[in-house]
Amino acid sequence: MSETESPSAEKVASAMMAPLSESSVARISVRTAVILLVFTMAFTALMAGVYQLTQPILEKSALDAKRRTITEVLPPDTYDNDLLADAATLPPVKALGRDAPTTIYRARKDGKPVALVFEAAALDGYSGRIDLILAVSADGRMVAQRVTLHKETPGLGDYIDPKKDKNKQQPWIKQFDNLGFDTVLGGKWRVKKDGGIIDQRAGATISARAVTNASGRAVLWIHDHSARLFDLPNGSQWKETSP
Amino acid sequence: MSQLRNIAANGLWNQNAVLGQMLGLCSLLAISTSVVNAVSLGLATIFVMGMSSLIVSSLRAFIPYEIRIPIFILIIAALVTVVDMAMNAWLRDLYLVLGIFIPLIVVNCIVLARVEAFAAKNPAGLSAFDGVMMGVGFVWVIGLLGAVRELIGQGTLFSGIEMIIPSASAIQILPADYPGFLVAILPPGAFFVLGLMVAGRNWLDYRANQRIHAQRAQQSAAAVAG
Amino acid sequence: MINNSPYFRQPASVRGVMLKVLAALLPGLAAYVWFFGAAILVQLALCSAAALAGEWAMLAIRKKPVWLFLSDGSAVVTAWLVALTFPPIAPWWLGIMATLFAIVVVKHLYGGLGQNPFNPAMAAYCLMIVAYPQIMSQWPAVGFTDFSTQLTAIFGPDRHLDAITMATPLDALRTQLHTADARATVAGILGSHATFGNIGGKGWEWVALGYLIGGVWLVRQRIITWHIPTAFLATLAAIATIASLANPAVFAGPVFQAFTGGAMLCAFFIATDPVSGATTPRGKLIFAAGIALLTWIIRTFGAYPDGIAFATLLMNLCVPLIDMHTQPPVFGHKKDEEEDKKGP
């Protein structure tokens, strides 16, 4: 790092007049380093201060966001336990379309099982994977489900997400509310085009079919394992046994 | 006084960061899907620009020329981080919508350009004013872009305002059964509308020039006649 | 040496060329009306009127000789291509908006006849499929030709679409391949479904044949050269053959690809647009092959019904590059390219 690299006109001029001695180069280097260090420390301190100030709020709002998502599929007055704390972890379950471990939250009222809240995925959307969050009651009914992440064609297949659904009064996804596992068994948990009872929108059947079939599979699987899922010790890992 | 007016005119029109210099287009095009998103990002940018210009200008005596760029970036990045954390804490929904584009203010060339070109050479008050004015120039462009795209795209204005003011709600401008025009919301719409805005600015400047020429011609004709 | 498009130098002859292009569309149009009803004629009329109105307004604003350019027929050709690539039962305003976009924005804002870098009809198609994917996917069922019902679909108020729409062959094939049914194969789907005909889509294959006949006539009339249609169809067929040989269960064969969707229309009437396409003979081959390749990719892996519009626009973007690298040697220099002798 020689001084002459600096394009500053006056410094270049002074360097030309009298070459800097080695000791003054060293002095300038140290001075520059110290200034940079001071600036870095000052602004790092500023960031650290703001971090300290906002961190508790951040943790709270992350929890809030999770709670809000869950509230969309399961009304909070239906249970009285601390849902987020009453959780167990499942290994990747094929029937749920998951390739990563799934956290399953157990809602209870007066200690009795009410519903299970968990994530599932449809892998055969028009543009790939569609992530879902579902609440399934202890007696095998869908309480509600929402799409949490998808890449369906804007304006065509994205009506599966009620935020994008043009029909605000009767969003498509609400058709599943209160459907029981027996609908799956009876072969009616399908889009109308496939002989079921779920409406699809003209020109965009694939997204609807993907969500419908994935949630049907999920509801059936959850219902089949409902008792065991509720009995799992808190925070424990579920080991899949042969059915 | 005329200096202030000059700074304001530069920021708002003559050297407008977007329409004049075509800087900061990445976040501009990505975020201008609605007025609320656009103006929110714009306000964050104003804050960062004003503050960074103010700080750089007040500390410019202590910033060695050789390491000015790292220090500028350090200051801008620290301010952006502060904005980022504050929005995450207090305006979380909005923060999730704006996402990566808040941190990206750091690399928005407008900010560094103004700090380097103006704040490093001018007194603190003027510099802060310049930063804010450049930011306001960015805001009105991105806000107008957002308004046009939102209006054409979904027939509303201020959708998403509830993320900032919980009691407010969007204004439906076009009839409720307006089918929407999705392209306006998608990236191509951003390019179309921005292109038309740049064309509009050039057209206005062209007309203003024509007028000045006409006036001069008149004056010289009058001078000859007199 | 720069190959000008033949247009601008002799505006008088443009009219004759355009009339022949319109005439060449008639066989395909006849098949269209036979299988899908007269709704398409309504759309042709709407789009033509919109095109002439838009052209007139823009020429007047730009202070160009209105009647000279208006009567050259190029706007009507654009309007017909818009109408023929849009669903015939689309609401009336869709075709009008699309045609106005094609004429006003894509043609005139980019400099008018002979200057536009993008194919106006295809740009309009892309705009509308992105804006209204649902409407743009509502194609009439083959054989359903009841004109009054179609008129209701076009002009409203109650469109009753479920009864008269049907998936297009390309869509039906993709939808069923997408279904998580492991037994679905191309052969099985094509054999079973009401949408599919002998070699392409039911009805659509005859429309495509009509375009083919009209297109060959255009080549014989020297309105278009053989390069683009041949390169387009040969490339599409080649890719489809390779893919379907590699995995016949998943990829449809060459004949199906060439006789469904807009392939034939693209080969003879869209990719051959002399303004937005490549101008050198070798460039035309590369240009058309590129469209075919992109079309196949978008049809097979994309999310939208057909790929010709996006493929055409993408290749339009490459035209300056293609033209620059395929300029024939200047006269007097060594001639080593056979292609040059066949050039126009």
Q: What digits encode the pLDDT tens for the residues B108-144? A: 888 998 999 999 999 999 999 999 999 999 999 999 9
User: A117 and A205: one domain?
Assistant: yes
C70: left (phi over 0), alpha (psi -120 to 50) or beta: alpha
User: A114 and A217: one domain?
Assistant: yes
Helix then strand count (H, E) for chain B reads 9, 2
Which residue range(s) make up the domain with A121?
75-231
Distance CA C63, CA C76 (A): 20
Chain C residues whose beta carbon lies within 8 Å of the beta carbon of residue B155: none
The answer on pLDDT for A227 being more than 90 is: no
Return the half-sphere exposure (C-beta side, CA atoms, 13 A cut-off) of residue B175: 3
The answer on pLDDT for A5 being more than 80 is: no
Shortest CA distance from C97: residue in chain B: B181
User: A48 and A134: one domain?
Assistant: no
Shortest CA distance from C101: residue in chain B: B192
146-165 in chain A: CB under 8 A from chain C? 153-156
pLDDT of residue C213: 95
- How many domains would you assign to chain A? 2
Split at pLDDT 50, 70, 90, the class of C32 is very high
Interface contact A58-B66, CB threshold 8 A: no
Residue from the list C133, C161, C162 with its beta carbon closest to the beta carbon of A155: C133
User: Angle at CA A172, nearest 5°, toward A168 and A177?
Assistant: 105
Residue in B77, B71, B70 with CA at minimum distance from that of residue B56: B71
- How many domains would you assign to chain B? 1
The answer on pLDDT for B70 being more than 60 is: yes
pLDDT tens string C140-149: 888 777 888 8
Interface contact A57-B62, CB threshold 8 A: no
In a 3-state reduction of DSSP, which class is residue A180? strand
Distance CA A118, CA A217 (A): 13
The answer on pLDDT for A10 being more than 60 is: no
Which residue range(s) make up the domain with B214?
2-225
Split at pLDDT 50, 70, 90, the class of B95 is confident
Q: Are A74 and A115 in contact (CB under 8 A)?
A: yes
Residue in C86, C76, C30, C31 with CA at minimum distance from that of residue C55: C76
In a domain, A70, yes or no: no
User: A50 and A80: one domain?
Assistant: no
Average pLDDT of chain C is 84
pLDDT of residue A11: 52
User: A137 and A190: one domain?
Assistant: yes
Mean pLDDT across the stretch C73-77?
91
Interface contact C138-A204, CB threshold 8 A: no
Chain C residues whose beta carbon lies within 8 Å of the beta carbon of residue A166: none
Interface contact C179-A203, CB threshold 8 A: no
The answer on pLDDT for C186 being more than 80 is: no
Shortest CA distance from C140: residue in chain A: A203
pLDDT of residue B15: 87
